[in-house]
Amino acid sequence: MIDFRYHLVSIVAVFLALAIGLVIGSTALRGLVVANLNKAVAHDAKANHTLYLYNRQLSTRIGADDAFARAAETRLLGGLLAGERVVLVLAPGTDSSTVNGIAAALSDAGATVTGQVVLSAQFFDTGVVTEQQLQSTVNALKPLGVPVPKSTPDPQIAGQQAAAQIIAAAIVNKDGLTMTQQQSHQILTGFGDAGFLQVKGVNGGTALVGQATLAVVVVPGTVQPAKTAEPFNLALVSLAQDLQEAGNGALLAGNLKGSGPRSAIDAVRSGAAGVKLTTVDDADTATGQIIVAQALRELLMPNATPTAYGVRPGRVPSPAPSPSPSASAWPSATRSPRPHPSGKKSAK
């Protein structure tokens, strides 16, 4: 019979041999491992520096392109929307510099901006109480005998759709007035008093300057949380669809950050919204703001086709050049460029 001490000595010998092997192996390989790690770190540092320089170069190029677009904006847009009236419809959380830039571009294109209709977060609440409140507000304000657009019904945003139909009829029209100025004001005031929207007129006013012929719906500056994104986007897209039907054209515009996955623009572009609308995903840039005005002009053309403009994958960079209404629409060379939305001076 083998003594237990023999087993103990054998086990100790095995672990001792293992320890000695680890020490010898690590000592022999340490230099090679450290050398390889140092080489990998140096390679990554060089790659990061190259990418940093390339990123800085791209930023400089984008800045130069933006300055060029601002300097050329009045010539690119002069008279393009002469005689048209455009209303801005803002979702909650829009980027103010984007909104100001779009408004300035529309003005440079010769359009009259009738004001802003700012939707509240409450408008997009799909809870039972809010849905009932929207429906009751619609029933109290819906003008008799006035045609309203008919979007495809969706049960989860029934209240928003009913409200959107008469809001659209109140703020835009095609060739003639669809309702009186008093009716329009009463509708917007009613929804405002109920907490669903706010009207910002020109020069600090609280009323729109009449009905518009075109509309720009500006999406939030950031995308919605996953839990609320779908109903929010459907409600906003439904309103844009009603504005398109009630007027001569409407589009969705927003900054690049707010136009990504889970945004209303992405819902239209991907087909998830089931609606075809023109969209612009880089309206926070001078180029994108110019495209907003050009895209509205395209919508006035016979057989206009909704198009996704911008810089994200699958987007069209810009509309095809459209002729100005008349040669006299071109501005003189002495016209001063519009101010930068952020308050900076435009490049000359």
For position 279, what pLDDT does the model report? 97
Domain count, the chain: 1
DSSP 3-state of 214: strand
| 88: in domain | yes
Kindly report, residue by residue over 246-305, the tens digit of the pLDDT: 999 999 999 999 999 999 999 999 998 888 999 999 999 999 999 999 999 999 999 899
For position 178, what pLDDT does the model report? 67
| 91: in domain | yes
Query: Residue 314: which domain range?
Result: 78-329
| 177: in domain | yes
Asked whether 80 and 329 are in contact (CB, 8 A), the reply is: yes
For position 4, what pLDDT does the model report? 61
Asked whether 208 and 115 are in contact (CB, 8 A), the reply is: yes
DSSP 3-state of 88: strand
| 102: in domain | yes
Model confidence, pTM = 0.77
| 15: in domain | no
For position 334, what pLDDT does the model report? 34
Asked whether 249 and 214 are in contact (CB, 8 A), the reply is: yes
For position 86, what pLDDT does the model report? 97
| 198: in domain | yes
- The parts of the chain modelled with pLDDT lower than 50 are 323-348
For position 261, what pLDDT does the model report? 94
Q: Where are the alpha helices (DSSP H) in the chain?
A: 4-77, 96-108, 128-141, 158-171, 181-193, 226-246, 264-270, 286-299
Using a 10 angstrom Cβ sphere, with 0-12 exposed, 13-18 middle and 19 or more buried, the burial of residue 45 is exposed
